Structure 1
């Protein structure tokens, strides 16, 4: 059976639009698009951009952030990485590099402008969307509010869409300061994920 997502996935993997941009970063790396979706997927995880570890492995959320995200979703690795059921589409498919202070650079906007509309058109079977981090919130919802305010309004979008903070270790203090997220959002999120994954 032909997978409509396969054609655009092949083109994204070959993309070198940001080669000069990445070569000029502190990491001086080459593009390596991390593409993880099929048109049959029922769950869409819209993230930000791969980090260095994911850049090296070629596997999305292959890091401590991914462990935390899988826990939030209530998914084991086998389910999470099943492309026929889960699409992982970041705002930029490549690791953007580090700034002078060693922090991740933001996702280059040219990636979203070039690829996202076409990717979303192939994901016709998505029943649940999970937006991870502020860049994904702004792109998919058009919001100008901060992460805390956007996530606090999660009920406005549930149960077909959930907004999450980024699961990075840098947000551990945020999680402690906002216990309502784990108490209120995660049980609803996990229930929605199970419905969609096992439907």
Structure 2
């Protein structure tokens, strides 16, 4: 077992916020040292918690369309790593799932990133990932941050959450499908074509 697999085993055994998780802990993470693309989303929903497969829901279907990849490619952990801000389902709030637990990123993210040496592009999906990683470089709103995606250079690409709940946002911001998605697909295709 390599160092990353050992770390993933520790993460999957994590019980740090067990008392605050309504469905109990089930950390969702995947990847390998050869992965070139990293997807950092929000936190697993109930369907992903049940299956243990990241993005195994309608949000994942939309995300794969945005990336221009099929399921086999998306779930090939030798090419694509997946690490949400909150590794377990955080519970339900008034208008959807609760925010990701803060303990996950502060406890695990840096340790994982140190063992993903080939990552060339990180997709920051949603406001929590963007706020954590872009910090002061993030714009005043998610819409602005995504609109100026090219400002974040070759390493980062901020995206809205692909949830069906964001269909209204997508309809109000047609530039995302016209400008960002084609650029995203091109970058992902070039990256995944590398040996």
Same fold by TM-score greater than 0.5: yes
Q: Secondary structure at 2:179's aligned position in 1?
A: helix
Whole-angstrom CA distance in 1 between matches of 2:155 and 2:47: 30
Cα–Cα, structure 1 residues 62 and 121, in superposed 2: closer, same or farther, change >3 Å?
same
Q: Secondary structure at 1:130's aligned position in 2?
A: strand
> Is the aligned partner of 1:42 residue 2:41?
no
The CA RMSD measured in Å over matched residues stands at 1.2
Runs of at least 5 residues in structure 1 that lack an aligned partner in the other structure: 23-27
Q: How does 1:39-188 map to 2 (within 5 A)?
A: 39-99=33-93, 101=94, 103-142=96-135, 143=138, 145-188=140-183
8 Å contact from structure 1 (residues 40, 85) kept in 2: yes
- State the partner residue of 1:19: 18
What's the offset of the Cα at 1:82? 0.3
8 Å contact from structure 1 (residues 47, 91) kept in 2: yes
Q: Secondary structure at 2:7's aligned position in 1?
A: helix
- Higher mean displacement: 127-136 or 156-165: 156-165
8 Å contact from structure 1 (residues 3, 39) kept in 2: no
Whole-angstrom CA distance in 2 between matches of 1:181 and 1:134: 16
> Is the aligned partner of 1:32 residue 2:26?
yes
Whole-angstrom CA distance in 1 between matches of 2:141 and 2:149: 13
- Higher mean displacement: 144-153 or 48-57: 144-153
8 Å contact from structure 1 (residues 138, 144) kept in 2: no
Name the count of aligned residue pairs: 192
Q: Secondary structure at 1:172's aligned position in 2?
A: helix
TM-score (norm 1): 0.93
Structure 1 segments of 4+ aligned residues over 6 angstroms from their partners: none
Q: Secondary structure at 1:137's aligned position in 2?
A: helix
TM-score (norm 2): 0.95
- State the partner residue of 1:4: 3
Q: Secondary structure at 2:110's aligned position in 1?
A: helix
Cα–Cα, structure 1 residues 112 and 146, in superposed 2: closer, same or farther, change >3 Å?
same
Q: Secondary structure at 1:129's aligned position in 2?
A: strand
8 Å contact from structure 1 (residues 3, 38) kept in 2: no
